[in-house]
Structure 1
Amino acid sequence: MATIVKTKDLMIEVARQLFARVGFTNTTMNDIADASKKGRRTLYTYFRNKDEIFQAVIERELERLWHDMELIRRLPATPEEKILTMMLTHLDKIKDLVLRNGSLRAEFFRDAWLVERARSSFDEKEIHQLQDLLEEGKRLGHFSIPNPRLMAYLLQNIIKGMEVPFISGSYRAKGTIEEIRATVRHLILHGLESPE
């Protein structure tokens, strides 16, 4: 069993490196089999096609992000601080993931649906994590949110919507990280209400 896991992990890492160096489009299943020093038959035992191995690469990269999110959730901080820290960590880690993977960056921008399919499980876990923190904050009297599940979904989509501007750096023209953090904090705590 350990050999099977090691072989699959090796193929995922080799594919990631090839995708990063020459791009998803320019990488073939033969390239992955050759670079991993495994035969095509072995590669096809684990993955039916290149899309499946691309999905495995994205999922593996998102596992690293998930590990960091779980560490933040366990911090001795208020739900509000955990949510803000998670949102900024998410953006930082996605940026690192995309930039670290070179040519994979182009796939991130070019084929959003392929990336969306690969990250759907992560997105759902992140929504659930945000919902738990919103419900905790509501129980503690920090938030007055009528529907924590819907708010979690909206926050997660706000985070995803910020990914491309964050990766490209274009958000800097709109505000600093501190201003973004303060604005998101205000949105969570007060919505769009006018000050009284």
Structure 2
Amino acid sequence: MANKLKVKELIIEVARDVFSRYGYKKTTMDDIAIGARKGKSSIYYYFKSKEEIYEAVVDTESNILFKEIYNQIEQPVAANEKFKLYVFTRMNKIRELSNFYEVMKNESLYQLDFIMELRNKYNAHEIAILQNILNEGVKTREFSIQDPELAAIALVTAIKGLEAPLLIKGEKRNLEKRIDYVVRILFYGIMRR
């Protein structure tokens, strides 16, 4: 049983690399089998289809992302700092998780039913995380929000819209500065005070 789990994990790790190199559409089961040094029939023993492998790959990457986010936001800091940690951790980690990012952004994958299910699942997870941070901020009187769920939806949407400009422009060391600037706008708006 432990050996089966190791083989399955190996296939997922190899598939992560293959999918990130060739993309979902160009990757074949043969590519994964060659990378894993297994016969194609061995790959099919563990996974019924390329879609199932891709789903496992994206799930693995989302677990990595959310584990890192939780590690950061569970620190005993103010809610506004947790929000910054959430945004910074998410942006930093998503760079490394090319398959997860591809699912969230690539519109040509939308026709695949399981992709929409994955997107909806991860969006709901992100909204729940932000809603918890916002509720905490309301309780501590840091935030004045009438509807934390709606605010969380708006913030997740805004953050997703900023991914490409924040991640593509510039190098990693300036990312924190750019995120700080964006967070200030999200917190305080663009109105003159």
In the other structure, the counterpart of 1:57 is 57
User: Quick one: which of 108, 111, 122 aligns to 1:111?
Assistant: 108
Q: How far does the alpha carbon of each residue in 1:104-139 deviate from its partner, in whole angstroms, 9 at most, with x for none?
A: 97x954635366544433332221111111111101
Which 5+ residue runs of structure 1 have no aligned equivalent? none
Q: How far does the alpha carbon of each residue in 1:72-117 deviate from its partner, in whole angstroms, 9 at most, with x for none?
A: 121121011011121122112112323xx7xx97x95463536654
Percent identity, aligned pairs only? 35
Q: 1:22 to 1:133 in 2, by over 3 A?
A: closer
Q: Are positions 1:123 and 2:123 aligned together?
A: yes
Cα deviation for residue 8 of structure 1 reads 1.4
Cα deviation for residue 158 of structure 1 reads 1.4
Q: For residue 48 of structure 2, what is the amino acid of its counterpart?
A: R
Q: Is the 8 A contact 1:18 1:27 kept in 2?
A: yes
In the other structure, the counterpart of 1:47 is 47
Q: Is the 8 A contact 2:167 2:175 kept in 1?
A: no
Larger relative contact order (Cα-Cα within 8 Å, sequence gap ≥ 6): 1
Q: Is the 8 A contact 1:95 1:166 kept in 2?
A: no
Q: Are positions 1:185 and 2:160 aligned together?
A: no
Q: Are positions 1:148 and 2:148 aligned together?
A: yes
Q: How far does the alpha carbon of each residue in 1:125-156 deviate from its partner, in whole angstroms, 9 at most, with x for none?
A: 22111111111110111111011111111111
Q: Is the 8 A contact 2:79 2:136 kept in 1?
A: yes
Which 5+ residue runs of structure 2 have no aligned equivalent? none
Q: How far does the alpha carbon of each residue in 1:35-76 deviate from its partner, in whole angstroms, 9 at most, with x for none?
A: 323333332233232222222222212222111101112112
In the other structure, the counterpart of 2:94 is 94
Q: 1:96 to 1:33 in 2, by over 3 A?
A: closer
Q: TM-score, normalised by structure 2?
A: 0.79
Q: Is the 8 A contact 1:127 1:156 kept in 2?
A: yes
Cα deviation for residue 194 of structure 1 reads 5.7
Note the aligned Cα RMSD (angstroms).
Answer: 3.1
CA distance in 1 between counterparts of 2:145 and 2:59 reads 31
CA distance in 2 between counterparts of 1:86 and 1:168 reads 19
Q: TM-score, normalised by structure 1?
A: 0.78
CA distance in 2 between counterparts of 1:160 and 1:116 reads 16
Q: 1:12 to 1:108 in 2, by over 3 A?
A: farther
Deviates more, 1:34-43 or 1:134-143: 34-43
